[in-house]
Structures are given as structure tokens and as C-alpha cells.
Amino acid sequence: ELDMLVKQWVRSEGLRQAMNWNQVEQVGGKVVCYGSFKLLVVDKESDLDLLCVVPKHVTREAFFKTLFELLAKKDEVSELRQLPWAFVPVIKMKYRGIEVDLTMARLMGSEIIPEDEEIFRTPMLTKDMDQKCLRSLNGYRATCEILQLVPSVEKFRLTLRVIKLWARRNGLYGNMLGFLGGASWAILVAKVCQLAGIEGNLGSCVNLVHRFFYTFANWNWPEPVYIKKVDAQPYPAWNPAMNHYDREHAMPIITSSVPQMNSAVNVTKT
């Protein structure tokens, strides 16, 4: 339903900018999920992370104005609010009772948005993309990539469910609150699965849970946690050698997709 709504909104924005009807019919728009739903580790407290991918004629200002106004008119939408100045700008709402975080990525090199999600993982799409859109797209890409970086997807998912439940029950879950969000917990669990190796992923996930707490109780923070290292990085990537702000990060948990970023940027030493 949200995907259809976004497609209609993108067409409306095109007509508002005097694009001809044939162009408007072709441009498209796409809503894809990432985070817990994409990883298949949903629980009753999980929110739905959605990325709205739009062509270059649709601006961020329109996202937070005209799309926001469109959502406000929907009976299915409640508790609608926007955070345009957040590190990853987002529209938050409840849609049919489900908590939804809707972010946006504007493809500057394209006026047509394909239906095939795989295209959103190609490096060429980030050309001329602004930093906020890049962070939004990075969330989707990192979610897709993490399942390819663990020895056993099944053991990874089960261990992540346990760790997320523990974090929620102990009040340690939530990026906006200065704790670790879903992406950071997923990276930490993936790191433990990698450290355990193929043999370590053959046994019970109890061993992986134990290894998780032992590993990060003894981690030498602020030494970064990587599940994939990429040598050639564009400027926006997390790089404490070049960026003094990155040196101040208390708990760097680095995404796998390029440009690699700290998923725990809101965590402080206090």
C-alpha cells in the first residue's frame, strides 16, 4: 500500500513540475524494506524500516512536506511525525498499528526507478547523492549484505533474536535514545558468528550467545568492529585518521556497505 502511495506521489511531483504525462508514467518510485523485516528477525516490538527510493526530480523538501501531508490524510496512519534534521532523516508513524520508519534516497543519476531491488545495491547509484540520502540507502544495502557475511544465516538469525530480546528487556535498545539500534546489534552478532567460524556455527546458538557477551565485555573500545573491511573508501566513510569527529566516537560499529559508516554514532561515553 505504501509502495503504491509513493508511486502516486512521485507522479504528482512530476506533474507539479510540468513534466509531460508520458514521462510521469515512466518515472516510478519504490518502497523497500530493510532492518529486522529484511533479516527475518521480527518480534512484536519490531518496527518496520522502509526506504523510499525516488528519482532526481523529487526533493527532500517534498518528502517532508507533500508526502507528509498525504500521509496525514490517511485513516490508516496515526502518530505521524517527522525528524528532518536527524542523522538519518525520517518520517515516523503507525501504519495500521505497525510502527514504521520511512527514510528516503534520491537517485541523482536516474529519472526512472526500476522495480528490481537488486539495482539499489550497485555502486553507480550513489553518484552525486547527498550524504543524508547515502546514509538512508546504506541501511538497506548493509541489511542485504550482512546475510552474505555470516557462516550460517540460521544461527545468525536465532542468536540475533536472543540478543535483541535481552537488550530490550534491559532497556538498552534504541538508537534515538543513545543506545544501540537494530543495525548495530546485527553487526555485533554477525561479528561473533564470523569469529566462531564454520565449526562454531554448527553447534547450539547458546555457545554463540555466550561468545557474544564474552567478546564485547572484553572488547577494547573504541577499537572499531568491522564485519567487512574495504580499503578504497570515498570521503564520507568513517575514517578517524582523516576526520577528527570520527575520533570522538565511543563505540564504532561499522557498516559493511560502502561508504562504511558508524551505525552507533549516537552512543557517547556517558
The Cα 242–Cα 159 span in angstroms is 35
75 is catalytic: no
173 is catalytic: yes
Lookup result for grid cell 540460521:
154
34 is catalytic: no
30 is catalytic: no
Count Cα atoms within 13 angstroms, Cβ side, for 55. Answer: 23
Marked catalytic residue, from 34, 95, 140, 173: 173
- List Cβ neighbours of 176 (8 Å cut-off, separation of 6 or more): 86, 266
Marked catalytic residue, from 101, 184, 246, 263: 101
Lookup result for grid cell 523497500:
32
Q: What sign has the CA pseudo-torsion 197, 200, 201, 207?
A: negative
Q: What sign has the CA pseudo-torsion 74, 80, 81, 87?
A: negative
204 is catalytic: no
Marked catalytic residue, from 30, 38, 164, 191: 164
Question: What single-letter amino acid sits at 172?
Answer: L
The Cα 89–Cα 174 span in angstroms is 16
- List Cβ neighbours of 229 (8 Å cut-off, separation of 6 or more): none
Marked catalytic residue, from 7, 47, 56, 226: 47
Marked catalytic residue, from 30, 34, 36, 228: 36
130 is catalytic: no
**Grid coordinates standing for 49?**
524500516
Kindly list the catalytic residues: 36, 47, 49, 101, 164, 173
